[in-house]
Structure 1
């Protein structure tokens, strides 16, 4: 190989490496998912469980498209839900969207209502158990004077008792692969391949010149 062809080969390797790295940078930007997690405590204020407290947690994806029910707030469907209440553990499979005018029966998942107008009430979960003899969160999102938590015969509204809910933000995590480490390894692999080819070309040129 003469020097002209050798320099052309070097240029080709460098261009290929740049192109590969540019492609990797483009492809290594997946949609971000910012998972918000809250813990909550329910303090029972009436009924047979009065003065008892129960705890739970829930999560939602803050980067997802808000549900957008149009009440001057942002509503996000839950991705996780756990609640330890009256000797039982409830998960996302046990609850559904609470408000009949906002939900499609059996299909709309529960959601978190945040950033509501101050005169309306408080940020709140909006869910109820699929079992009519259970509990529900969230009447207060429409009127501050309403209870935040109700339990027992929520299906009929007769024999329903109340509780107060306290929410605490626990964490906000962004689940995105580390682009630095991924790209670093791929870049090294690409550059290594190019270097190996150049070394082989140099050795061939040296032996041919002898």
Structure 2
């Protein structure tokens, strides 16, 4: 067995302890974050209505995040490139953590995690869902099937292209909530998404350039 082959199982094995640690931290940290999710000033506040921007953003961004997590798990198994795997690992952990916060807020507010309302109706959006793409930036089922069939550089490039589009849609939604927010805690989370995902768009664009590729748009 050569040195590279010996190192590969080790790299894969590192995913599970780290993921377990992140899950434990999420379980310990979310209750405190959720407890502050209904209050803008530290005092008790009325729960938002089901059709409010607060509830709509929590539901829609949670769904948006879930697809980013799914895509990152796919590419993790389709490449051995360390930089792409580290990016995927960061997306998985960051967005799973944020998704847990938003689901926790909905639960504390006594609201369902889904409704019959069109995605992003709370911000006046009229996106036409198609082939599994529910909101702007989301990949289609066809895109995901293609990603699952690629490997190596081809998988890296397509993942980065899809994730840049995904982040663009996420930034637009998060900014839409920041502009409408009445809950200070949720607004801070949304602003952190805007800042973090813009930075990652720049990073992923640079990663594409190093692979001789460009964003899809």
Quickly name the TM-score band, shorter chain normalised: under 0.3
- Higher fraction of helix: 2
TM-score (norm 1): 0.25
- Higher fraction of strand: 1
Which of these two proteins has the greater Rg computed from alpha carbons? 1
TM-score (norm 2): 0.25
